[in-house]
Chains A and B, each alone.
Chain A
Amino acid sequence: MNITYPVRKKQQLNTLLLITALLSGFIISLYTQSEFLLQVNDIWQILTAYDSSDIKQQVILSLRLPRSLTACLIGFNLGAAGLLMQGLTRNPLASPTLFAVSSGAACVTALNSLTFAMVSGLPSEAAAFIGALTGGLLVFLLGGGLNTQNNSLRLILAGIAVNGLLTSLTRAALIIADDTAYSLLHWLSGSLSDIDWLRWTQLWPLSLAALLLAVSTCRGLNLNALGEQTAFSLGINVTWLRIRVCLAVLLLTSISVTIAGPIVFVGLIAPHLARALCGRSHFILLPVSGLSGAALVCWADLLSRSIVPPAETPVGIITALIGTPFFIYLVVQGKS
């Protein structure tokens, strides 16, 4: 017997369905809506009869594949981060957005685009990452830092305050930076349109490290569900758990925001999907929540290309369109 929870048949079936949804989305996103009229068969050809001079195969390999992979991994990161946040705060409405990671990244990127700002001249990835970490750390410190007593609510309030501050700073920067405002706004809505292999190589190593860190917190989070005091009584170092969870969330969301801009609501929805599918053990919930997030972003990216082709709707807008009614549903359900 495992200390946590037996994997039931139904959970396995649910996970299988989820993986199917993800894989089909992934494959469709490799060929759909292309000016080169790609087909499923072209993907098959890459696997069976690779030809480096075939333009269709090259389009898939150098443009489509990195984008789809990145979409999935970012979704996975956000889903996992959302689960960690909800597990730590025991609040089903918590999400990585709370950590002001997105607004921090947006703010520093926006300031960076102003020629007179102090941080100007940084590469935009560096600016976004620094901003993400700064925003997150600010919330962590204001939200009680290492002190674990009764401060889930304090963390949430700190998140709201810091988010508000950073967002208004960003707005101010946008108004001043008239000429670059459009590209900034595009990034601010969350977009996967400029992804290439370089982005992927920036993304995966840090993601992997952060996900391993996340796995190491699962056992603690299972006990944290009983409250900090009980978890402490059961031999969990609650402070250390908190540090690791926050660090993992910070890393997972910072990298994702840096690559694709803020993609909202995925971190909120994915954990709920996972819990509905697979029970309560964080060891199972973490990968399932990640897969849910991956499927969400993958399909949202597909939709973003399909609504008004060939133009792309920023993927963040799609996830927001899906997420807002879901959020309202959660709040209403919580009241009844």
Chain B
Amino acid sequence: MLHIENLSVNYTGKTVLKDLNLTIPKGKITALIGPNGCGKSTLLKAISGGLKSATGQVTLAGRDLSRLNHKERARCLSILPQSPITPEGISVQQLVSFGRNPYLSQWGRLSAEDDQKVQQVIHQTGLSELAQRPVDTLSGGQRQRAWIAMILAQDTEYILLDEPTTYLDLTHQIELMEMIRQMNKQGKTLVVVLHDLNQACRYCDHLIVMRQGQISAQDSPDKIFNSRLLKEVFELNAMIINDPVANKPMCIPL
């Protein structure tokens, strides 16, 4: 379990997150949804420990995350930013092997075991044929897969993804959501910031709905996803129907 207690973030006097308390259920896919600027990305960064201005406590399996050293933390929890910087001239395999960093000794040599993990992850994400290609020459969908592969090589129990489907076409969005589901089946706990509410309902077990730096609701889609919530949080008039394929709620804006 990942517990977040009394989390607040202030940027130059402006409160971005105010006294949040929430629990990320273990072994589930959690979606973070909310209107633009409500603090989703900030919350994700704060959970990862990468925000100096954050106050409060994040505990992972009873351990205070801020007390762990950097490598220990990176073996428990990873975060993929919304638009990570793709360096020039780095091959897919090199990028994926960066994921092994928290496991390496001082000089950063990969052991046979690390190498095996890298190869396995490349295979699993269908990147075998692209392994030697520079990442900056890949298409958007392939590139996002390479980033996911790096995260998988990091082999953390908790994975935070910040809007991983942005900039992807629908086919690649679905491909990515399926990958997320796959990762979950292998025992990973995922927290994903999503904009597409129907995808969030279809693929995620748990929703955290945010508005203006606070939590409006958190529970499974079946329990909380209704037109009153959409009106309240997104100021959107919508009707909710049952998704005939996934048997989950879905919204149709009116």
Contacts and interface: CB of A to CB of B under 8 A. Distances in A.
Contact of A236 (B79, B84, B87, B101): B101
Residue from the set A90, A149, A223, A235 with the largest chain B CB neighbour count within 10 Å: A235
Contacts of B79: 229, 233
If over half of B's interface residues share one DSSP class (helix, strand or loop), that class is named, otherwise mixed; here it is: mixed
B89 A279 contact: yes
A225 B85 contact: yes
Contacts of B78: 233-234
A141 to B, nearest CB: 16
Contacts of A232: 48-50, 70
B140 interface: no
Contacts of B86: 226
A223 B85 CA distance: 11
Contact of B110 (A3, A222, A225, A237): A3
Interface in A218-247: 219, 222-223, 225-227, 229-230, 232-237
B239 interface: no
B100 interface: yes
B98 A234 contact: yes
A219 B108 contact: yes
Contact of A223 (B52, B80, B101): B101
B154 A229 contact: no
B63 to A, nearest CB: 16
A174 to B, nearest CB: 41
Nearest to A239: B52
B61 interface: no
A90 B87 CA distance: 9
A44 interface: no
Given A3-B97, A4-B94, A235 B84 contact: no
A1 interface: yes
A229 B98 contact: no
B52 A4 contact: no
A182 interface: no
B204 interface: no
B178 to A, nearest CB: 23
A304 to B, nearest CB: 35
Interface residues of A, number: 25
Contacts of B50: 229, 232-233
B101 A3 contact: yes
Interface string B62-102: 00000000110111001111001111111000110111111
A205 B75 CA distance: 38
A279 B88 CA distance: 10
Contacts of A222: 98
B154 A225 contact: no
A88 B235 CA distance: 43
Contacts of A225: 85, 87, 90
B70 A227 contact: no
A229 B70 CA distance: 13
Nearest to B160: A233
A14 to B, nearest CB: 15
B154 to A, nearest CB: 7
B81 A227 contact: yes
Contact of A1 (B88, B98, B110): B110
A235 B73 contact: yes
Contacts of B100: 3
A154 interface: no
A275 B85 CA distance: 18
B90 A280 contact: yes
Nearest to B45: A229
A326 interface: no
A147 B100 CA distance: 26
Contacts of A2: 108-110
B204 to A, nearest CB: 21
Contacts of A149: 52
A90 B109 CA distance: 24
A198 B70 CA distance: 44
A329 interface: no
B44 to A, nearest CB: 10
B115 interface: yes
A36 interface: no
* Closest 10 A/B residue pairs (Cβ): A235-B74, A235-B102, A227-B85, A225-B87, A235-B71, A234-B101, A229-B81, A233-B79, A3-B108, A237-B70
Given A235-B75, A280-B90, 19 more contacts: A2-B110, A3-B100, A3-B101, A4-B94, A219-B101, A226-B86, A226-B98, A229-B45, A229-B81, A229-B84, A232-B48, A232-B50, A233-B48, A233-B50, A233-B80, A234-B78, A235-B73, A236-B70, A280-B88
24 contacts: A1-B110, A2-B110, A3-B100, A3-B101, A3-B104, A147-B52, A219-B107, A222-B98, A223-B101, A225-B90, A229-B45, A229-B79, A229-B84, A230-B84, A232-B50, A233-B74, A233-B81, A234-B102, A235-B71, A235-B73, A235-B101, A235-B102, A236-B101, A280-B87
